[in-house]
Amino acid sequence: MKKLLGLSALGFAVALTGCIPEKLDSSSEAAKSEIHRVDITPNPAYQPSLHVVLPDSCPVPDGMTVEEATGKVFLNVPNFAPSNPDGSRQFPAQLGVFDKTGKFELLMEYPNDPASGKAGPMGLDFGPDGNLYVADNQFFSSDPAGKYPSRILRVEMKDGKPTGKVETVVTGLRLANALLIHDGFVYVSDTNIDLAGNPGKYGLGIIWKFKLDDILNAKEPMKVDPTVKDGIAVDPNAWVVGETKKIGRGDNSSFDGLTWAWGALYSGNFGDGQMYRIETNDDGTAKVTTVLDDEAYHCCDGIFYDEKTDKIYVNDSQANAIRTLSRSENGEHVAGWLWVNDDTNGENGLLDQPAECAVVDGVLYVVNFDWSFPGLKNTTSCDKPYSISAIKIGTQSDAELANAAAPTVEEAPAELPAELPTVEGAPATDAVPAELPAVE
């Protein structure tokens, strides 16, 4: 098992102590957590606009995936908040869909887990069978967190709509987060692993790797064990184990977003902002390379690779920002910023704790998670509008844009003309004879 040091993703360490407050008290210790300030001026060309105002029953949206045939975006709404006085959630977990015109439709309510009585659908992706596979996060269904195992669900789809049949295909994960299906495998990020048996570790996460055929052909749900001892996972499906380094806001979360880019799996760390390129060795183990470890970046939530612009777009929930990761011709990774704004309620499409994004036809759609916890710019949870933002990014890579902007230089003709052109009004000149006359 490949061990990776210094990892972390969407983790809500504060959830270990109970429910996250909807509004932080400025005098509380939590409110004093360090909030990283970004010293950049955003490009107004990339200012977000308001694409979808979600209904009142959708205060906390999260994962997205694109149906390639139609360009529609399917959206999971786990609704972890707000809660009733007895701790129950005010709104059920739901699945919705929207298109490029901004039309939004709720498709179904998720069935609750029989043990916890709750559902927490986050990352999702279409399988080759046309069905949706969903990371059901049960981590926030218990106190202390981690009592109930998270799951992978299969939502049966027909003609772009759920049939109502939802099955559990994998169980036993801890904080199931992002989910990606690629080339016969299902990858799932597990953001917060129990630290028991791991002395001195600040935070741990797992990237699970399942053979899709094993899931498709299974007669009953696969059961996995998220136990990690001394940094090593006990379950063979746990492909990568990662550690989180402690930074200012003190979040011990681990792996979060997943995307496939430049021939490898990429993941980011919610707790400390690092990013990783993960390749497969000949023996099936993981080769992990840290491609971003910069003090300017403290958080990496959902990520999405857009082939046309040739960039990974990174949701920075801490900074209320969208970052970018590019790759040069020589293989170097280059980080940048697309947009950042201050604390906001999401009016006019401004970012309100961005968590996930997806690109369709040159537009980046951004989910505003809006469930605040210490150390983020966002200080108030579930304030209206509940929204999806849109940023026009175009359909050209930086290299294509540079080539289009480069001045053109006219080339000189390969050969001079046989005869020089005459200018109207100019005195005629005799052509030079082919041979000079002989001199007597």
* Residue-level pLDDT, tens digit, the chain, 440 residues: 433 433 333 333 322 222 333 333 333 333 345 556 677 899 999 999 999 999 999 999 999 999 999 999 999 999 999 999 988 999 999 999 999 999 999 999 999 999 999 999 999 999 999 999 999 999 999 888 989 999 999 999 999 999 999 999 999 999 999 999 999 999 999 999 999 999 999 999 999 999 999 999 999 999 999 999 999 999 999 999 999 999 988 999 999 999 999 999 999 999 999 999 999 999 999 999 999 999 889 999 999 999 999 999 999 999 999 999 999 999 999 999 999 999 999 999 999 999 999 999 999 999 999 999 889 999 999 999 999 999 999 999 999 999 998 876 665 555 655 554 554 554 444 444 445 455 44
Q: Give the pLDDT score at 17.
A: 25
347/325 Cα distance (integer angstroms) = 27
89/369 Cα distance (integer angstroms) = 16
98/104 Cα distance (integer angstroms) = 4
320/19 Cα distance (integer angstroms) = 22
Total domains in the fold of the chain: 1
Tokens representing 270 are: 């919610």
Amino acid at 110: Y
Q: Give the pLDDT score at 38.
A: 73
Are the C-beta atoms of 60 and 77 separated by less than 8 Å?
yes
Whether residue 384 lies inside any domain: the answer is yes
50/366 Cα distance (integer angstroms) = 10
| pTM, 2 dp | 0.86
Residue owning tokens 């996250």: 20
| Residue 195 CB partners (closer than 8 Å, separation 6+) | 201, 203, 204
**3-class DSSP string for 327-370:** ECCCCCEEEEEEEECCCCCCHHHCCCCEEEEEEECCEEEEEECC
Q: Give the pLDDT score at 412.
A: 55
Whether residue 145 lies inside any domain: the answer is yes
HSE toward the beta carbon, residue 352, CA cutoff 13 A: 28
Supply the CATH number for residue 301's domain.
Answer: 2.120.10.30
244/274 Cα distance (integer angstroms) = 9
Whether residue 416 lies inside any domain: the answer is no
Q: Give the pLDDT score at 248.
A: 87
At 122, which helix (H) or strand (E)?
strand 121-126
Backbone angles phi, psi at 26, to 5 degrees: -65, -20
| Residue 368 CB partners (closer than 8 Å, separation 6+) | 61, 346, 351, 352, 353, 354, 355, 386, 387, 388, 389
Q: Give the pLDDT score at 144.
A: 87
Whether residue 422 lies inside any domain: the answer is no
223/10 Cα distance (integer angstroms) = 23
Whether residue 34 lies inside any domain: the answer is yes
Q: Give the pLDDT score at 96.
A: 98
292/276 Cα distance (integer angstroms) = 7
Q: Which of 49, 40, 42, 104 minimizes the C-alpha distance to 363?
A: 49
Q: 325 - beta bridge partners? A: 312, 335
Whether residue 274 lies inside any domain: the answer is yes
Q: Give the pLDDT score at 429.
A: 46
345/356 Cα distance (integer angstroms) = 17
158/130 Cα distance (integer angstroms) = 8
Whether residue 26 lies inside any domain: the answer is yes
Q: Give the pLDDT score at 18.
A: 28
Q: Is it true that the peptide bond before 82 is cis, omega within 30 degrees of 0? A: yes
148/113 Cα distance (integer angstroms) = 9
Whether residue 333 lies inside any domain: the answer is yes
Which range marks the domain in which residue 400 is found?
A: 2-405
